[in-house]
Chains A and B, each alone.
Chain A
Amino acid sequence: MSKNSLMDMPDTCRITKVLEETPSVKTIVFEKEFSFKPGQFVMVWVPGLNEVPMSLSGANQITVKDVGKVTHILHSLKPGDFIGLRGPYGNGFSLNGKRILAVGGGFGTVPLKPLFGNKRIKKFIIGARSKLNLLWIDEIADVAVCTDDGSMGEKAFVTELADRELATGNYDLVISCGPEKMLKALFKVCEKYGVDVEFSLERLMKCGFGVCGHCAMDPIGWMVCKDGPVADSRILRQLTEFGNYKRDMSGRVVPL
C-alpha cells in the first residue's frame, strides 16, 4: 500500500510548447517531467473530454498523431493550456541485447525517440507510407529510410530492409513499434534468423494499471498496460491474438 496517491490520478500541468513534426503529428511539451524508461507510456487526460494512452517521446513530452476526436483536440491545445497526466506505466524496453536493430513503422517511431543516441543500437530502420509521415530521420546517426510510395529513401517495406540487415548476422536483438500487421511480418523475419525481439504493442485501455482487464490479450491474459506494452519473443509466440484481432470498447472481438 505504498502507492503514491497522485500516481494514478491525472496530475494536471500546463503545456509549455507545441512542435509541428509533420502535417498530422505534433509534439506537446509540458511542465511535468517523468523519470521513465523508453517504451513506457502515460495516460493523457484532456480535461472534460477523454483520456488516452500515449508513449512518452521524452521526459516531458508526448507526440500525437491527429487520428480521432481526442487527438484532434490535443492538436488544438496551446502553450498555457492544461493537460492531465498519470504514469509512467508499463514495462518499457529492456534492451536485452548488445547489438540492437531498431525498427520504427510510421508513427510507431515515437517510443523509439528517447533511444536515438543509445550506443547499443547499431542501426535504425524508419519506414512510413510516404515522406510526409517520416519522423525525426535527421536526428538519427545511422538510419535506413524507406517509404511505401518511394517518396523518400528506398521504395520498400521495413521488413525487407530488416531482412537484409539480419542476414548479415550482426544483430542479437530487434526492437520495434509500428502497426501490428507490420510487427507480425517483422516477427516472422526475426524468427527466421533466430533473433530475439522486443515489440511495443497497443490495445484499448481503461485503467492503465492492470485492474480493468480490457487490454488483456489471448490466450494468456497478457495485459498490455502492465505486463507490456513491450512483449519479447517468448510472449509473442504465445499471443494468438497478436496480428489478428483486438477488442473494442465493449469488449467485443474485432479483426485488426
Chain B
Amino acid sequence: MLETKIAEVRLRNPTVLASGILGTSAAILKRVASSGAGAVTMKSIGPEPRAGHNNPTVLSYGPGLINAVGLPTPGYKNMSEEWEQLADLEVPVIASIYGGSIDEFVEVARFVAGKKPAIIELNISCPNTKKHGQVFGFEPDVAGEVVSRVKGVTEEIPVMPKLSPNTPKLKEVAKACEDAGADAISAINTVGPGMVIDVNTAKPVLDFKTGGLSGPAIKPIAVRCVYDIYEVVDLPIVGIGGVSTGRDAAEMIMAGAVSVGIGSGVYYRGIDVFKKVCDELEGFMEERGYKTIKEMVGLAHE
C-alpha cells in the first residue's frame, strides 16, 4: 500500500531520512533504515575535510529547529569505511553532495557515482555557509548548469537537486533543473535563515549567528513550495519540511510529492518517527479509501 517510486528507484514506503539529520555514518543510517525509513540520505559530502561551524549549531526554539552546522564533511576521499558498510543497507541510499564551485560538484559527483548510491542529491540550497549551498540554487541558469554538468558524469544514477524555499524564483529554478536533465527534485531545504539572540548577553546564540529553520513551524511553506513545483515540472518530488505525522505526509503527497523527507521529525517523535508516520499514513489511507500512494499524489491540484 505504501510503496512508491522516485524516478525508477523503488521505495517500500514514502518516508525518507532527509539530509543533514543523523546521516553522518553508515552505522546510524542502518539504524534509521531499521527504524522503518523507506530510504536514507547521507549527510552532504563535500570535496575536502571540513569541520563546520563551532557550537551551538543545532537548537530548538519550540515549534522548529534552527541550525547552522556548516556542512561538516570528512571529504569524499576519506569515507571508505562508510561506503563499504553502506553497500548492504536494506533500503536505497541517497548520497547528498555539495561543492564550492560547479567544478567541485562535478568532482564529488564523479567519485560518488562510482559508489553506486540509488540517487545523488545535489545540495544547492544550504543557507549556512558563505560559499556553498544556496548560492547555486537561487538563479535558474546556475542551478541548471550544476545539474547538467553533474549529469555528464553520473551515468545511470538519478540526479535530484534539493531546492531552497528562499528564492523568489523557485518555479523557474525547478523548471531549469528539469530542462537540464534532473531526474527528480527534493524540496525544501531549511527556511530563512533566521536568528536567535540571547537577551541577557545581547549575543546571537548560533556560532554562525544565523541558521536555517526546520520543523513543524515551516511546514506550510514546504507544502506551498512542493505545490508550486508540481505545477511547473513533470518530475517526481520528494517533499521535505515539517513532516512528523502521517497526516503531514498525506498533505505533502497531495501537494505533489511522491515521497516525504523527515528530518526534524526525529527530534519531535524520536528515531522511530518513520514507522510512526507510515502506520499513521496507512491508517489514514484505509479510512479514506486510498489504495496507493500514487493515487494521492497531487490531489490538491484537481
Residues of A participating in the B interface, judged by any CB pair closer than 8 Å: 1, 3, 5, 7-10, 12-13, 43, 45, 47-52, 82, 84, 86, 205-207, 209-214, 216-221, 223, 247-253
Partner-binding segment picked from B48-56, B150-158, B284-292: B48-56
Partner-binding segment picked from B68-76, B137-145, B252-260: B68-76
Bound together, the chains give a CA A84 to CA B52 distance in angstroms of 21
Question: Do A5 and B24 touch (CB < 8 A)?
Answer: no
Jot down 30 A-B pairs with beta carbons below 8 A, ordered by A: A1-B63, A1-B268, A5-B60, A9-B60, A9-B196, A10-B59, A10-B198, A12-B198, A47-B201, A49-B54, A50-B54, A51-B56, A84-B205, A86-B59, A206-B58, A207-B57, A207-B58, A207-B59, A209-B60, A210-B267, A210-B270, A211-B22, A211-B264, A212-B22, A213-B23, A216-B27, A219-B27, A223-B28, A247-B25, A251-B25
Instruction: Report if B43 contacts A (CB, 8 A).
Output: yes
Residues of B participating in the A interface, judged by any CB pair closer than 8 Å: 21-32, 43, 49-52, 54-63, 65, 69, 72-75, 78, 81, 85, 196, 198, 200-201, 203, 205, 207, 216, 263-264, 266-268, 270-271
* 10 interchain residue pairs of minimum CB distance: A5-B62, A221-B31, A8-B60, A221-B28, A51-B55, A252-B74, A207-B58, A249-B51, A213-B22, A216-B28
Question: Do A211 and B266 touch (CB < 8 A)?
Answer: yes
Contact of A214 among B24, B85, B263 (CB under 8 A): B24
When C-beta atoms are compared, the residue in chain A nearest to B263 turns out to be A211
Question: Do A250 and B271 touch (CB < 8 A)?
Answer: no
When C-beta atoms are compared, the residue in chain B nearest to A241 turns out to be B27
Question: Do B60 and A250 touch (CB < 8 A)?
Answer: no
Q: Which of chain A's residues have a CB closer than 8 A to the CB of B21? A: 211-213
Question: Do B58 and A250 touch (CB < 8 A)?
Answer: no
Q: Which of chain A's residues have a CB closer than 8 A to the CB of B30? A: 219, 221
Bound together, the chains give a CA A211 to CA B273 distance in angstroms of 12
Q: Which of chain B's residues have a CB closer than 8 A to the CB of A9? A: 59-61, 196, 205
Question: Do B200 and A12 touch (CB < 8 A)?
Answer: yes
Contact of B203 among A1, A47, A216 (CB under 8 A): A47
The smallest beta-carbon distance between A24 and chain B, in angstroms, is: 23
Most buried by A among B55, B61, B62, B196: B55
The smallest beta-carbon distance between A75 and chain B, in angstroms, is: 18
